[in-house]
């Protein structure tokens, strides 16, 4: 049975939702699922924009069969060929052998590399600025390299103002019937998962997102719909989400507040983290989030790190080093290019307290444009009353730094 939605006149969502996949890219948990979006334009020619993950292929085929109603599929535009979107290309070619494929040179190269048998079909290679007409609708192809693979492009339909934005403006969470961002409470229910998607999947490529946003900025008044490959379609309040993307890709915090991430073996470092959180709230700083690094998937920590302006790292010393999961979190920050944050450090060690210096060295030497506050809380096994002054000084320093940020 088909399951489609109308985007706008003659344009349909023909994708599918996935609640079975536990780990996106086999690494990021997706407890609320994900959608694989594909779109069908029925003009003088019929055009399928992208395909879906192999697990969703059957739904895509049923949707196409219903809407095409016995007519052929004329074109397949591939904006992004990564297998979560491209894995069904070959099945489309088998079902619609006369379909002509439109994509970039690099995408065709990668399709062959992945073993998608596109040769034998008409492959139309396009580049930045090329246009194509399907009847009433004319589209322009725009390069979007590294958003999120090097072959990616986006396609802008100049007739109806639809931007097929590939991975850009995507989000985790299955659509479950709701297609448009204005059909959900996005700011309440979706923004955290949208942030987690962007920062973990494309976070490293902020400058490339900025390039794409620059191109989109030139035609902003013409964009009426943004149709990404995951998550809802945007037709209202586009500026809200564009602004989020702009902040995330410039590594600018959304919130002046404090993220506290602790690594604790027996609860003593956690107790210090909790005491600091309470001190901050006592001082009126209530935008405080606190996580145990050992039982929080690092993708959530990365998303929160992109959100908050100040990050407190509280870690025990382990084998004379940083606690392994805390080290892994720091490595992810580096890999995903996080910048422009203010850090504070709580360290703990029962006989050789090393974690503070090591975390500071990592921040100074491996990360970009970071500040570490001079005030540091050093613990020998547990937080005792004699450390009250140090704890207060750390809280005061964070408040002062936040206030400086708020004034700037
Ligand atoms: Fe959803 Fe880069 O693929």
CATH number of 5-249: 3.60.15.10
pLDDT value of residue 405: 86
What's the pTM value of the predicted model, to 2 decimals? 0.96
CA of 167 to the centre of ligand 1 (A): 5
* Cα-to-centroid distance, 195 and ligand 1 (Å): 15
Cα of 136 from ligand 1 centre, angstroms: 29
Q: Closest ligand 1 atom to the C-alpha of 152?
A: 2
| Phi, psi of 228, deg, nearest 5 | -85, 175
Q: Ligand 1 centroid vs 86 CA: distance in angstroms? A: 9
Q: Which among 123, 121, 117, 15 is positioned nearest to 60, based on CA atoms?
A: 15
pLDDT at 148: 87
Q: What is the pLDDT along the chain (408 residues), one digit of tens a residue?
A: 999 999 999 999 999 999 999 999 999 999 999 999 999 999 999 999 999 999 999 999 999 999 999 999 999 999 999 999 999 999 999 999 999 999 999 999 999 999 999 999 999 999 999 999 999 999 999 999 999 899 999 999 999 999 999 999 999 999 999 999 999 999 999 999 999 999 999 999 999 999 999 999 889 999 999 999 999 999 999 999 999 999 999 999 999 999 999 999 999 999 999 999 999 999 999 999 999 999 999 999 999 999 999 999 999 999 999 999 999 999 999 999 999 999 999 999 999 999 999 999 999 999 999 999 999 999 999 999 999 999 999 999 999 999 998 887
| The pLDDT of residue 268 | 97
| Residues within a 6 A CB radius of ligand 1 | 80, 82, 84-85, 148-149, 167, 229-230
Residue 205: both structure tokens together: 């490529």
C-alpha distances in Å from residue 82, one per residue of 72, 308, 309: 25, 31, 33
Distances (CA, A) of 88 to 22, 74, 119, 373: 20, 16, 15, 51
Residue whose CA is at the smallest distance from ligand 1 atom 3: 82
Query: Taking Cα atoms as reference points, which of 221, 214, 313 lies closest to residue 258?
Result: 313
Same fold, 5-249 and 258-407: no
How much is the pLDDT for 328? 98
User: C-alpha 371: how far from its chain's center?
Assistant: 25
Please state which CATH number belongs to domain 258-407: 3.40.50.360
In contact, 40 and 52? CB cutoff 8 Å? no
- Please state the domain extents for the chain: 5-249, 258-407
Write the CB contacts of 18 (distance below 8 Å, at least 6 apart in sequence): 33, 34, 35, 36, 53, 55, 56, 174
Compute the CA torsion angle 255, 257, 261, 262 (nearest 10 deg): -170
């Amino acid at each position: 049975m088909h399951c489609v939605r109308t985007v706008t006149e003659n344009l349909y969502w023909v994708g599918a939702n996935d609640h079975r996949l536990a780990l996106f890219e086999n690494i990021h948990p997706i407890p609320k699922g994900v959608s694989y979006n594909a779109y069908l334009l029925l003009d003088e020619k019929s055009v399928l924009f992208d395909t879906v993950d192999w697990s969703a292929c059957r739904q895509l085929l049923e949707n196409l069969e219903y809407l095409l109603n016995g007519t052929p599929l004329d074109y397949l535009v591939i904006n992004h060929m990564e297998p979560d979107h491209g894995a069904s290309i070959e099945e489309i070619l088998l079902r619609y052998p006369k379909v002509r494929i439109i994509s970039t040179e690099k995408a065709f190269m990668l399709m062959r590399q992945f073993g998608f048998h596109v040769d034998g079909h008409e492959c139309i290679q396009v580049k930045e600025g090329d246009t194509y007409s399907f009847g009433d609708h004319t589209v322009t192809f725009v390069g979007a390299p590294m958003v999120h693979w090097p072959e990616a492009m986006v396609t802008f339909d100049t007739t109806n103002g639809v931007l097929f934005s590939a991975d850009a403006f995507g989000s985790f969470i299955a659509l479950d019937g709701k297609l448009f961002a204005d059909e959900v409470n996005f700011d309440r229910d979706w923004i955290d998962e949208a942030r987690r998607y962007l920062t973990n999947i494309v976070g490293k490529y902020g400058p490339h997102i900025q390039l794409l946003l620059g191109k989109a900025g030139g035609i902003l008044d013409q964009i009426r719909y943004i149709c990404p490959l995951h998550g809802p379609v945007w037709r209202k309040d586009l500026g809200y989400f564009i602004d989020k993307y702009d902040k995330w890709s410039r590594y600018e915090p959304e919130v002046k507040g404090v993220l506290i991430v602790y690594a604790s073996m027996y609860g003593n470092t956690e107790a210090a983290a909790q005491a600091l959180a309470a001190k901050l709230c006592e001082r009126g700083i209530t935008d405080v989030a606190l996580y145990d690094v050992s039982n929080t998937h690092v993708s959530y920590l990365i998303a929160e790190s992109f959100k908050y302006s100040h990050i407190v790292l509280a870690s025990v010393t382990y084998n004379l080093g940083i606690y392994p999961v805390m080290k892994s979190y720091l490595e992810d920050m580096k890999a995903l290019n996080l910048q422009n944050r203010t850090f504070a450090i709580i360290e703990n060690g029962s006989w050789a307290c090393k974690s503070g210096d090591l975390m500071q060295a990592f921040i100074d030497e491996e990360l970009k444009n970071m500040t570490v506050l001079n005030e540091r809380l050093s613990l020998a096994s547990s937080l005792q009353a004699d450390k009250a002054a140090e704890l207060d000084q750390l809280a005061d320093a964070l408040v002062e730094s936040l206030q400086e940020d708020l004034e700037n």
